[in-house]
Amino acid sequence: MPNSSQSPAPEAQAHEPRVVAFLCKWCSSAGSDLAGVSRIQYSANATPITIPCTGSMSPLYVLSAFNKGADGVLVSGCHPGDCHYMEGNYLARRKLYLVKQLLQFVGLEAERFRMSWVSAAEGAKFAEVIDEFVGDLRPLGPQTRLKAKH
Amino acid sequence: MSKRTGVFVCHCGKNIAATVDVKKVARELAKDDGVVFCEDYVYMCSDPGQGAVIDAIKENDLDGMVISCCSPTLHEKTFRDASELGGLSGFRCEIANIREQCSWVHKDPDEATDKAIKISRAAVRRVQRNEPLDPIGVPVTRRALVVGGGIAGIQTALDLADAGLDVILVEKQSTIGGNMLKLSETFPTLDCSQCILSPKMVAVSKNPRIRLLTESEVESVSGFVGNFRVRIKKKAQYVDPELCKLCDDCSQVCPVAVPNEYDEGLTNRRAIFIPFAQAIPASFTLDEAACLGLKPVVCGKCEEVCEAGAIDFDKRPTVFEEEVGAIVVATGYDLYGMDKLGEYGAGRYADVLDGLQFERLCSASGATEGHILRPSDHKVPKEIVFIQCSGSRDPENHCAWCSKICCMYTAKHATLYKHHVPDGQAYVFYIDIRSGGKGYEEFVQRSMEKDGVIYLRGRVSRVYEQGGKLRVLGVDTLSGRNVEIAADMVVLAQAMEPSKGTAEIAKTLKIGLGKDGFLAEAHPKLKPVESVTAGIYLAGAAQGPKDIPETVAQASAAASKVIALLSKEELHHSPTVAKVRDPYCTGCAMCVDACPYEAIGLVGGKAAVNEVLCQGCGSCVGVCVRAAIDVKNVSQLQIHEMISAVLAA
Amino acid sequence: MVNVDALRGYAADLLEKGQVRAVIGYRRGTAGVLAQPCTIDEAGEAETLVWDPTCLNNLARYLVEDRQQQAAAQTRNKTPDGRPVAIVAKGCDSRAVAVLLQENYLKREDVVIIGVSCEGSGVIDPRKLAARPEGRWASRVDFAGADAFKVTVGGDETLIPARDLLADRCLECRAAAPALNDVLFGEVVTERGLDEPFRAVKAAQGATEDARWATWEHHFDRCLRCFACRAVCPMCYCPECVVDSTTFVNTPGTTAEEKATRIRWCERSASVSESALYHLTRAIHLAGRCIDCGECERVCPVNIPLRLLNTKLEMEAFEQFQYEAGRDFGQASLLSSFRDEDPNSFIR
């Protein structure tokens, strides 16, 4: 439902964004479970990879996903103060802020990398985050800038 | 590396199969490198489903297993146990969540099937590099710490001691009993609060297994489940409880008068005083902030008159270090500050009281010995207004939450008022009446019908003083009319908020807080008494507003969790901990700084992980520029493989 | 003014008394105008030390090399000479030493820092010098106050405005004297009338997204993956570069399994995507560690403006997190610390 009405008919064959969503196990992955339990429909473009904590995100995961052809990369974790491991999301926030700044600096489209806080109780927000992200990526078309050509 | 991986794709009846083409998922996964067995099945979690896992492992000599099914929070343990029964390490079994994260949230079968394949394929690539780990065993200290000596802490301590465990009960105030000790009667039975609480307090003081530390606070905590090390600071004990004979000579000569916090500021007390006759420890205590005698030339009268020689101004605070295996946090609640409700005249007019002040007025141990009199002129109030939801359910201005007990205690207050002042009139402003609980609704009905309490559904806009009366302006939404009452007294059913210091203790103990500041439980439904940190449990109103029976129930629940934990010979700790790749480590210690658990140190110039302290969060992985540290079974290589799998054309 | 004779005397004294094992400094180069790095271990050689605006190299890199040699000696069961090494350090070099200390790569007692002030000026960009008619034949460049360099061509001396010759990073430098030192030659100059810090980065990020990508795609496309940037960087001391499989460390304990499971984040082909991955990873791995000595950019054979990537992140670190690499070797590193008030508005 969220997607079908967005693309105008002439571009029906438009590129479907491929998103890698790194979700922390305790909040955002649990939030996506809640979206499931609540049967909230959202775009199927994002494939989740569950990690213990956003603090464990290596910047290389983001760069590698773009290198392997991701059109968008999402990192989602616990709200500040809610990290299961107390501090991991704060470390992630600082580090991924810099990653985002760097990617924008070299001219990767700013929309392609996104971070969100989604708690275990925010199933609806999880669905919104994915739909918004995919909606913002769709007009950009395929990500060619950092994608490997081989 | 696993070379013989098996995959099962669960239909979950129609839950998965209605959207995801499970046969196609199985067909596609069968093509993956290293996958030697791939089947779909209608209910993997059923007994035959688990049996199929066991058989498949044995018959195909599998060294890795992926179950594509529901969320790992549900059946990861089921299938890991089944794998073990099949002779495969449980850590060589991973779940691909194709239900909550796929079939339930997508409608298009092609899209959902495609995504299910990606999720499953990523899990295959991950499991192929999983190590077969063994749980890490750690010894257990069979002693518990209870923080907070209100009814929650008291009940927990008694239950633990009853089970034969040693307990350290730490209380910030000079007596245990908490807020319950201040209450007059309790709803819905109207039994005397102190009468039902004091036997438990005495039981605490007499129990040889309970070491009671009043005027004490937890300074720091290190260690982990089964093996915490806590530093406790106890304030200077100027009055020796062993020597104090409770003769009261000291307070008779004390020249200082300060508001009595145990009487909610309605009366004054001396600098040397006893909070309640029933105080435990049964001893006078000296308030060092108010006392003049700590500056010896100024005073010292109490020391002179104390025949028992119980007073010593030279006492200093002491700090203890204790080892405990588990901690229960029961730090209770405070009422929402009256200063924040200026619109109700709170803090401005002496006869606008909060719920606890009204309790003290009603209480036989209070200043008026149970007579309801106006603080301003000691007259009996003939018209009294109770305002419910004062600070509660008001996300714009105050607290968003329902404080849960106020409907009931307001009904109780109104009833008690009528018992004391039979010719008086009580009004209650309310938004809703929430009276879920055994005998609760009946109690509220009785207050209306038998005691003639007038309930007005609506909010109060303003309270102001005029001609010796408190004029309460409100609206009765049922009749649609504005209401103005000339009251003699107004009682605000203040919202409950976490007690002062809750945020601090949460930080000290490294447990989480919810958005509202109450302590966060590990799972809102299934782990209501566990904190997010293993070995630390929650009891009472510090976790969320609750009444006495609920508090006692949660306290006993927390105690039984601790008893179960500490009854084990040895605890098992997840082995998915960090592992240093020695040749690459340069000893820069960024991981040491990043680790929230102080689980990493430098040994011989290289990072070394204390596997018992490590919780496997991977903060170290995220900061290491040399990729010299990994979390077992979620290594960077595995993530790399998963990224590749997810993005494969 | 830095008294070079005093500097030489100090170095000679250290060696004479055996207080240090060697002194890392600069001497007159054998080809062209530029000074070159040298390591001297005898007091008599101290006479050859120089300090002038052509002392471009970040000598902290040689501390890294020295430590690697010491470690190698140890593995050959030789007892290493435990005495410290002295290093002649400009502002940026001393910040690099501070980062190495912060990261426990060196111990404070293992290094004697002979600080030299850049006299409120800095070092030259040889490309800028060569671009001038007189520059190609210059035999000497000397400091002439904060605003000019004295360039000697044959027998003639000309004053050239400092701004025309200074290396870009020196134009933006905020601390042209070593804060961390055991002895300091020359004055600490805090007032600088040159470019504002991070000017080049701010200019670069003012371009449109497409223009920025066009620029960087061009640069990444030209990268040869010669790794000179990494080789010269004092912070690139990892035993194995995570994005270059050519540096994989194999020890006797390295199993075949381990060899097979090295992650290839990046292919070795010099294509835009792989070079981008390499440079972006390097930039993020230098966040909070790059002290802006500009060496990576100076040695790049195809003139990729690599400094921009690093200073972009140092600018963010400074402006958002009030963090400066090499300011204090006791501070927790940029990425292993955080504050409640760190930027949050970029997160949904």
Mean pLDDT of chain C: 92
Region B5-135: CATH code = 3.40.50
Best of A19, A22, A89, A94 to mutate (most C CBs within 10 Å, chain C): A94
Residues of chain A positioned with their CB less than 8 A from the CB of C280? 63, 102-103, 106
The residue to which tokens 């009251």 are assigned: B487
Chain-chain contact of C242 with B594 (C-beta, under 8 angstroms)? no
Chain-chain contact of C263 with B627 (C-beta, under 8 angstroms)? yes
B457 touches chain A (CB under 8 A): no
Ranges for all domains in chain B classified under CATH 3.30.70.20: 577-631
- The string of DSSP codes covering B530-555 is EESSTTEEE-GGGSS---HHHHHHHH
Mark whether C212 and C187 lie in a shared domain. no
Ranges for all domains in chain B classified under CATH 3.50.50.60: 143-235+318-332+499-566, 336-497
Chain-chain contact of B588 with C337 (C-beta, under 8 angstroms)? no
Question: What pTM was computed for the model?
Answer: 0.79
Residues of chain C positioned with their CB less than 8 A from the CB of B640? 263, 265
Residues of chain B positioned with their CB less than 8 A from the CB of C333? 588, 590, 593, 623
- pLDDT(C91) > 50: yes
Spell out the long-range contacts of B284-290 with Cβ–Cβ below 8 A and sequence spacing 24 or more. Answer: B284/B239, B284/B244, B284/B246, B284/B248, B284/B250, B284/B251, B284/B310, B285/B174, B285/B215, B285/B238, B285/B239, B286/B238, B286/B239, B286/B311, B287/B258, B288/B235, B288/B236, B288/B238, B290/B256, B290/B258
Geometric angle at alpha carbon B35, from B34 and B37, rounded to 5°: 145
How many domains, chain C? 2
Best of C104, C230, C241 to mutate (most B CBs within 10 Å, chain B): C104
Chains interfacing with A (3 or more CB pairs < 8 Å)? B, C
Mark whether C117 and C204 lie in a shared domain. no
Task: State the SS3 of B558-626.
Answer: HHHHHHHHHCCCEEEECCCCEEECHHHCCCCCHHHHHCCCCCEEEECCEEEECCCCCCCCCHHHHHCCC
Cβ pair B299, B269 in contact under 8 A: no
In degrees and rounded to multiples of 5, residue C111 shows phi and psi of -140, 135
pLDDT at residue number A84: 84
Residues of chain C positioned with their CB less than 8 A from the CB of A110? 209
- Number of residue pairs across A and C with CB atoms under 8 Å? 119
Exposed / middle / buried, residue A62 (Cβ in 10 Å: 0-12, 13-18, 19+)? buried
pLDDT in tens, C273-284: 999 999 999 999
Residues of chain B positioned with their CB less than 8 A from the CB of C263? 627, 636-637, 640
pLDDT at residue number A145: 97
Of the candidates C103, C239, C261, which has its C-beta nearest B583's C-beta?
Answer: C239
Mark whether C92 and C225 lie in a shared domain. no
At position B100, the amino acid (one-letter code) is E
Chain-chain contact of C271 with A150 (C-beta, under 8 angstroms)? yes
Q: List strand residue ranges (DSSP E) for B395-498, in order.
A: 425-430, 454-457, 460-466, 469-476, 481-487, 489-494, 496-498
What DSSP state is assigned to residue A142? S
pLDDT in tens, B488-505: 999 999 999 999 999 999
pLDDT at residue number B105: 97
Distance, CA of B631 to CA of B635 (rounded, Å): 5
Best of C257, C336, C340 to mutate (most B CBs within 10 Å, chain B): C336
pLDDT at residue number A9: 46
Chains interfacing with C (3 or more CB pairs < 8 Å)? A, B
A7 touches chain B (CB under 8 A): no
Mark whether C179 and C212 lie in a shared domain. no
Of the candidates C265, C281, C338, which has its C-beta nearest A93's C-beta?
Answer: C338
Q: How far is C318 from chain A (nearest CA, A)?
A: 12
Confirm whether C100 is domain-assigned: yes
Confirm whether A33 is domain-assigned: yes
Mark whether C79 and C183 lie in a shared domain. yes
pLDDT at residue number C3: 93
Residues of chain A positioned with their CB less than 8 A from the CB of C214? 107
Mark whether C236 and C309 lie in a shared domain. yes
Chains interfacing with B (3 or more CB pairs < 8 Å)? A, C
Q: Which of C147, C162, C195 represents a domain boundary (last residue)? A: C195
Chain-chain contact of B639 with A51 (C-beta, under 8 angstroms)? yes
| Count of Cβ atoms closer than 10 Å to residue C256 Cβ | 7
Cβ pair B241, B282 in contact under 8 A: yes
Q: Which residue of C has its CA nearest to B590?
A: C336
Residues of chain A positioned with their CB less than 8 A from the CB of B73? 30, 33
Confirm whether A68 is domain-assigned: yes
pLDDT in tens, C189-239: 777 767 789 999 999 999 999 999 999 999 999 999 999 999 999 999 998
Q: How far is A18 from chain B (nearest CA, A)?
A: 8
Confirm whether A5 is domain-assigned: no
C105 touches chain B (CB under 8 A): yes
pLDDT at residue number B44: 97
pLDDT in tens, C135-169: 888 999 999 988 899 999 988 999 999 999 999 99
C277 touches chain B (CB under 8 A): no
How many domains, chain A? 1
pLDDT in tens, B77-123: 999 999 999 999 999 999 999 999 999 999 999 999 999 999 999 99
Cβ pair C300, C228 in contact under 8 A: yes
Q: Are strands B326-329 and B606-609 parallel, antiparallel or unpaired?
A: unpaired
Residues (pLDDT < 50) of chain B are none
Full domain range(s) for residue C221 = 198-333
- pLDDT(A19) > 50: yes
Mark whether C190 and C202 lie in a shared domain. no
Of the candidates B1, B593, B625, which has its C-beta nearest C332's C-beta?
Answer: B593
pLDDT at residue number A13: 61
Mark whether C281 and C189 lie in a shared domain. no
Region B336-497: CATH code = 3.50.50.60
What DSSP state is assigned to residue B382? S
Region B577-631: CATH code = 3.30.70.20
SS3 B180: helix
pLDDT in tens, C294-332: 999 999 999 999 999 999 999 999 999 999 999 999 999
Q: Which residue of B has its CA nearest to A24?
A: B617
CATH number for the domain spanning A48: value is 3.40.50.960
Distance, CA of B430 to CA of B386 (rounded, Å): 9
- pLDDT(A3) > 60: no
State the fold for domain B143-235+318-332+499-566. FAD/NAD(P)-binding domain (3.50.50)
Q: List strand residue ranges (DSSP E) for B42-155, in order.
A: 64-69, 93-97, 136-139, 143-147
Share of chain A above pLDDT 70, in %: 91
Q: Which of C195, C229, C252 represents a domain boundary (last residue)? A: C195
C256 touches chain B (CB under 8 A): no
Of the candidates C254, C265, C332, which has its C-beta nearest B640's C-beta?
Answer: C265
Q: Which of C146, C165, C195 represents a domain boundary (last residue)? A: C195
Which tokens is B116 given? 């299910």
At position B410, the amino acid (one-letter code) is T
Task: State the SS3 of B251-312.
Answer: HHHCCCCEECHHHCCCCEECCEECCCCCCCCCCCEECCCCCCCCCCCCCCHHHHHCCCCCEC
Residues of chain B positioned with their CB less than 8 A from the CB of C285? 625
pLDDT at residue number C304: 97
Nearest to C296 by CA among C219, C209, C183: C219
Residues of chain B positioned with their CB less than 8 A from the CB of C105? 586-588
Confirm whether A9 is domain-assigned: no
